[in-house]
Amino acid sequence: MGLQVGTGTFDGATSEDLTSYGLHAGYLRDLGQYVVGAEIDYDRLEIDTFSSNDNGVTRLKGIVGYDAGKLLPYAILGAANFQFEDGLGGDLDTLGVVYGVGASYKVTDKVRLGAEVLQH
């Protein structure tokens, strides 16, 4: 379980910068040299031209990684559900694929710091 912050680009009719913040929870299973797991997360999205604060994405991700001691590089594949309100009465709720790569570093037995690059 943890917190996350991010930045990115929303490509719609125009390309817009976005900031995200949210929560995640998951489980990793160490199989020796490899690690597999699953994670669910939710991010609130702040998009420059969307006046509503009711924009978000929920993701369910499968993770496969390589156990390199304290470092865990991994690949991600899963599903993402976006919810957008443009502030003008227009709503978008869409389900799609999410994939990417990430890495986390084990600071203590209970704390990991990581980064991901995701494509939706």
Domain ranges of the chain: 2-119
| Residues 24-76 pLDDT 10s | 999 999 999 999 999 999 999 888 776 666 789 999 999 999 999 999 999 99
Its pTM surpasses 0.75: yes
- The DSSP output letter for 68 is B
Does 9 have pLDDT greater than 70? yes
**Assigned CATH for 2-119:** 2.40.160.20
Range from 1-5, 20-24, 62-66, 88-92 carrying the lowest mean pLDDT: 88-92
Are 58 and 70 within 8 A, CB to CB? no
Name residues whose C-beta falls within 8 Å of residue 104's C-beta, 6 or more positions apart in sequence: 71, 72, 74, 112, 113, 114, 115
Are 76 and 65 within 8 A, CB to CB? no
